[in-house]
Amino acid sequence: MRDLKDTCSFDLSVNRPDILGAEFLGEGTNFALYSDHATRVELCLFDDTGQRELHRIDLPDMEGGIWFGYLPGIEPGQVYGYRVHGPYAPEQGHRFNPNKLLLDPYARELRGQIRWDDALHGYEVGQDDLTFDTRDSAQFMPKSVVVDAKFDWDTDRAIRTPWQNSLVYEAHVKGLTQLHPGVPDADRGTFRGLGSDAVIEHLHKIGITAIELLPIHAFANDRYLVEKNLSNYWGYSTLSFFAPHAPYLKSGQIREVKEAIRKLHKAGIEVILDVVFNHTAEGNELGQTMSFRGIDNASYYLLSPDNPRHSFDTTGTGNTLNVAHPMVLRMVMDSLRYWVEAMHVDGFRFDLASTLGRETQGFERDGSFFNAIRQDPVLSGVKLIAEPWDIGEGGYQVGGYRWPFREWNDKFRDDTRAFWRRDPGLAPALSERLSGSPVQFNHSHRPATSSVNFVAAHDGFTLWDTVSFNDKHNDANGEDNRDGHDHNLSDNLGAEGASDDPGIVAARVRRVRAMLATVLLSQGVPMILAGDEFGNSQDGNNNAYCQDNAISWLDWDTARDDVLAAVQAISAFRQDVSLPQSRFGADPEDAADRQPVFAWLHPRGGAMQDGDWQDTELRCFGLHQVLPGGRNVLIVVNAGEDAEFALPEGEWRLRIDTSADTVAQDSVAGGTVTVPWQTVIALTR
């Protein structure tokens, strides 16, 4: 490495500490990095390949812990990294080691991949973590890249689909597109494939208004997975909160993300990102030094209050990002605003969001992170979804968040699966889910769209697998089937795995349709896992986080038209009758103006009585809704045998029958209607 300080010098008159990261300002680039405990920060410039270090020069100024400097002539495409000097004192929480090249936390683009080597550790692997490793890690590290933010968005604007009109589709960029026959081979697995006409056509077909993408931030393929010939497929191991994951970019340039978002927006589809601000890819104190640990371990991470040598882990991943620290919080907020303002993203789903609310007294619904977002003029207006739990004490917080957050509702998932599995005594629980889970969410002025309703998500069985497997089958993960949870609430309906028995297949189709109808016809915001709309299977793997292969990729060739047609019909009906509401339903005597009126009906006719709800064998009941404007909708669920259901007075039209081949109906129903086994019907008056 040649030291070229004499030909690469900072312009001290232009230095700016207020812009963190590497910001191209037209004729040069301003570099700024926060490290409160550092004693010196070196900027390292590399050639285009990122393999040869050309310049190494100290950032000249520091204010408030921000080290900064403006370099004339440094343009977009410049590859760079940092070396940060300071105390190596693990017992005080400090792990500075300038032998380790570090990624800029604000890097918008990365070049190269991690090459796993012991040199990536700040200590001598195999020895105590109090030791100090002197090997240079640069050759094994990806590098940061200066980018040009210019992009022609044309007339692109935020769509702002109202929550009550939203239908969310949880998908993986690669898994959705890798095997899609309508996506060109060269575009599969990338954002170009995501924005393809074939994918958009499919989303339109089933009424999707928002696609929620599993993590697209640059992430690490963890070493222990690589050594087992597996990979971090889901992406919950973040390297950078600003840069997209390079393998999802055909050209390696971030403009591909913008192009895909622009196409999806033109099609009326919002883009929501699953973001992981609770931890990073560096693991615990025995993990690698690739960015935050080497920049300022004691600032960026929560450390054990008893012994700062150790990480404080509430995520189960080894470390916890210290979002209560003002500069770490700023980084998170800057990242979110960047994705909204520069990348035109429409919202976020926060992984393990309870961790983000952890302060000195535990989870705080009014913690600094949540309050910062609620007051932010940019972020408070986008879609915000919390995964309302973590593994720490008091971490399960379903219903514990304030507006404008919505929440993944695992109670909906569990009660819906159990009801349709014909578990006893589930009618009261399912009535809660159909009405938007008011016990959890009807408080603190929260709307009826607070619950994100789902029966399957990326973590767990696919919906088809819940009716095909009694037990998990995770052998391909290399952990002797010990990984993944056992609480699947599944039922194989007569055969473990795939079956060609017509009776078993018919029963599976009927139950899957009924569960999808429950999601789509309940109050709240429905979410469908990609592939569930056509019966996709993962062969019983309920923890496919490490399977970047046919186990996880959607198998479009085996798509079931009988399931897909049902989703199309029910989704269209849901919008046609304006079924979803922003206000919770109420009894007729308690309903306010523009509030839906709800009545629970027994199959024999008339209102459900207290004793009826105590009937553990009751598997058929109805919800009669009078929507604002006077529209009457009746949803009847039947998890038991064929049942006769007495209709309220008036001329009712049968609109949906999930047991029928065509699902969608338009026939007049008399005083009673037959509700077949394992069926949802919907009628209007």
Could you give the residue numbers annotated as active site? 351, 387
The Cα 516–Cα 547 span in angstroms is 26
Question: Cis before residue 181, ω within 30 degrees of 0?
Answer: no
Cβ(367)–Cβ(401) below 8 Å: no
State the first-to-last Cα distance of the chain, in angstroms, to the nearest integer: 79
Triad 212, 252, 48: Cα angle to 5°? 150
Radius of gyration of the chain (CA): 27
The Cα 215–Cα 194 span in angstroms is 14
DSSP label at 106? T
Nearest to 113 by CA among 122, 103, 123, 105: 103
Q: What are phi and psi of 95, to 5 degrees?
A: -135, 45
Cβ(668)–Cβ(653) below 8 Å: yes
Strand segments, DSSP code E, in 353-396 are 358-359, 362-363, 383-386
Cβ(518)–Cβ(491) below 8 Å: no
Longest dimension (CA), the chain: 92
- What distances in angstroms separate CA 499 from CA 6, 464, 492, 493, 622, one per listed residue? 73, 12, 10, 10, 33
- What distances in angstroms separate CA 598 from CA 63, 621, 627, one per listed residue? 60, 13, 9
Cβ(232)–Cβ(220) below 8 Å: yes
Nearest to 138 by CA among 36, 55, 251: 55
Cβ(194)–Cβ(173) below 8 Å: yes
The Cα 361–Cα 308 span in angstroms is 18
The Cα 188–Cα 174 span in angstroms is 7
Strand segments, DSSP code E, in 59-192 are 61-63, 66-72, 79-85, 88-89, 94-95, 109-111, 143-145, 168-171
Nearest to 103 by CA among 251, 237, 289, 329: 289
Sole residue written with tokens 């394992």 = 678
Complete DSSP assignment for 146-171: --------TT-------GGG--EEEE
- What distances in angstroms separate CA 586 from CA 34, 391, 428, 590, 648, one per listed residue? 52, 35, 16, 6, 18
**Tell me, what amino acid is at 374?**
R
Q: What share of the chain is helix, strand, coil (3-state, %, to 5)?
A: 25, 20, 55
Which 3 state secondary structure label does DSSP give 97?
A: coil
The Cα 69–Cα 105 span in angstroms is 16
Q: How many CB atoms lie within 10 A of CB 415?
A: 24
Nearest to 681 by CA among 644, 630, 629: 644
Which 3 state secondary structure label does DSSP give 275?
A: strand
Name every residue whose Cβ is closer than 8 Å to that of residue 13 and which is 6 or more positions away in sequence: none
